[in-house]
Amino acid sequence: MTGTSAEEPERASAESGPVSPAETNYEQPTVSASDVDIPLDALIPLDRYSKWHPQRPRVGPGRALKLWLQNSMNFNGRASRTEYWWVMALLAVLYLVIPLVVGNLANAEAIPQMVGVAVVIACWGILPLLLSVPTLALSSRRLHDTNRSAFWNFFYLIPVTGAVVVAYCCIKPSNPYGVRFDPVLGNPPVE
The pLDDT, as a whole number, for residue 113 is: 78
Helix (H) or strand (E) holding 63: helix 61-70
pLDDT band per the 50, 70, 90 thresholds, residue 136: very high
First to last CA, the chain: 74
pLDDT per position as a tens digit, 93-115: 888 888 888 877 777 777 787 88
3-state helix, strand, coil in the chain (%, to 5): 60, 0, 40
Most confident of 22-26, 75-79, 114-118: 75-79
Contact present, 167 and 146 (Cβ < 8 Å): no
When pLDDT is averaged across residues 44-48 and rounded to a whole number, the result is 47
- Residue 104, SS3? helix
Answer whether residue 66 shows pLDDT above 70. yes
pTM for this predicted structure: 0.64
The pLDDT, as a whole number, for residue 44 is: 42
Task: Output the CA–CA distances (angstroms, integers) from residue 108 to 1, 89, 100, 103, 114, in the order listed.
Answer: 113, 27, 12, 9, 13
Helices 113-121 and 98-107, axial angle in degrees (round to 10): 160
Cα(169)–Cα(4) distance, integer angstroms: 71
When pLDDT is averaged across residues 136-156 and rounded to a whole number, the result is 93
